[in-house]
């Protein structure tokens, strides 16, 4: 069980993340590939992702990567860096810039769990530049297959959760917010926030802020970061419909995976999210990236003739072209 002892001042510093964190989504999706939790919700996703990883020749590499993220125990905090810009590129860059001493300490602690680790773990712990670069590349490729193609569905679930928490906080303050979670997920009482977890830890903020981070791929239990030098972070699962994957496919997302092989998963997701018109901020929210990254994706799609962009007041509105829609639908456009 995780226990957070929170005084009034601590509650005043409690915040909810305003977007999904791709590094946490990488971590939790790797957990789901290691277990059978929430089979009705995630087995269709597991089947699809394993097939895509196999087609990309990444099955073995991702199995090794998953050893850094044990699902029933703590994994190194550096794998989910704080304060990234909300997109996978900045998250991976921050991970790769982790100080060597911290890499060594956290991977040494991981080794005490007596589980086999990839042979290249020692080189990562030593800060070897080449090995770290390969790790970064693997994380990006994995994210492009297992996380990015599902960004629209994840963003919808995240938005619904955030709206629910905001309403609870408006009507009942911070205590109303904490009471809005199902008791089997977390409970608030006697100045202590408790949540079920295979790990038994107690946390005291000691002046640190506390961040609640919603996650789409988080399994049954919330998870926390261990280091007392970092802001308190508690991730928790948002509600996911049993048919979330089928529902997304019925809305036209089925074509995103084949298109992703052509233009990349992130830009395929962006093209899908543009639809009949959206601005850059809403596009960023829909695909779970920063506004700057969404703007870069839009620029590439525009140069390829897949979208058009028009300034309207303070916003730039993006609209999918006939060519973009045809590619997304998997058909040849009329000339």
51 and 89 in a common domain: yes
Distances (CA, A) of 94 to 22, 61, 137: 12, 22, 13
- DSSP secondary structure of 235-276: EEEPP--TTHHHHHHHTTGGGHHHHHHHH-HHHHHHHHHHTT
For residue 20, how far is the Cα from the chain centroid?
Answer: 5
125 and 47 in a common domain: yes
User: Would you give the DSSP letter of residue 189?
Assistant: E
Indicate the range of 17-21, 114-118, 245-249 predicted with least confidence: 245-249
CATH number where 285 lies: 1.10.10.10
- Cβ 221 vs Cβ 198: under 8 Å: yes
Q: What's the total number of domains in the chain?
A: 3
Range of the domain at 174: 2-17+152-237
The arithmetic mean of pLDDT across residues 174-181, rounded, is: 92
Q: How confident is the model at residue 218 (pLDDT cuts 50, 70, 90)?
A: very high
Q: What are phi and psi of 290, to 5 degrees?
A: -75, 165
Q: Which pTM does this prediction carry? A: 0.77
296 Cβ contact list (under 8 Å, min separation 6)? none
- Classify 211 as helix, strand or coil: strand
Task: Indicate if the alpha-carbon torsion angle 226, 20, 131, 100 is positive or negative.
Answer: negative
pLDDT at 124: 97
Q: Partners of 15 in the beta sheet?
A: 211
pLDDT at 83: 73
In a domain, residue 334? The reply is no
The per-residue pLDDT for range 247-278, each reduced to its tens digit, is 766 555 445 556 666 677 778 888 888 877 88
In a domain, residue 242? The reply is no
Out of 150, 177, 210, pick the residue that ends a domain. Answer: 150
Two tokens, residue 115: 């589980």
The arithmetic mean of pLDDT across residues 276-281, rounded, is: 85
């Amino acid at each position: 069980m995780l226990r957070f002892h929170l005084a009034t001042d601590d509650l005043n510093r409690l915040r909810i993340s305003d977007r999904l964190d791709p590094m946490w989504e990488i971590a939790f999706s790797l957990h789901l590939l290691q277990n059978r939790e929430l089979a009705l919700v995630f087995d269709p996703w597991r089947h699809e992702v394993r097939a895509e990883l196999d087609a990309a020749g990444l099955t073995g590499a991702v199995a090794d990567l998953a050893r850094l993220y044990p699902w029933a125990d703590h994994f190194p905090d550096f794998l989910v860096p704080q304060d990234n810009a909300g997109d996978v590129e900045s998250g991976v860059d921050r991970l790769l810039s982790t100080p060597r001493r911290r890499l060594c300490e956290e991977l040494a602690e991981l080794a005490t769990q007596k589980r086999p680790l990839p042979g290249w773990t020692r080189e990562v712990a030593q800060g070897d530049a080449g090995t770290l670069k390969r790790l970064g590349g693997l994380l990006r490729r994995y994210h492009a297959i297992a996380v990015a193609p599902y960004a629209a569905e994840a963003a919808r679930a995240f938005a619904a959760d955030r709206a629910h928490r905001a309403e609870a906080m408006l009507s009942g303050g911070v205590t109303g917010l904490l009471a809005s979670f199902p008791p089997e997920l977390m409970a608030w009482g006697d100045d202590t926030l408790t949540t079920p977890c295979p790990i038994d830890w107690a946390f005291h903020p000691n002046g640190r802020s506390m961040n609640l981070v919603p996650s789409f791929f988080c399994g049954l239990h919330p998870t926390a970061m261990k280091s007392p030098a970092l802001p308190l972070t508690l991730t928790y699962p948002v509600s996911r419909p049993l048919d979330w994957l089928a529902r997304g496919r019925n809305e036209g997302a089925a074509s995103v995976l084949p298109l992703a092989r052509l233009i990349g998963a992130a830009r395929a997701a962006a093209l899908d999210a543009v639809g009949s018109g959206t601005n850059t901020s809403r596009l960023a929210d829909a695909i779970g990236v920063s506004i700057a990254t969404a703007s870069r994706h839009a620029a590439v799609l525009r140069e390829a003739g897949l979208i058009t962009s028009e300034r309207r007041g303070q916003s730039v509105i993006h609209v999918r072209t006939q060519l973009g829609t045809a590619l997304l639908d998997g058909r040849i456009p009329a000339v």
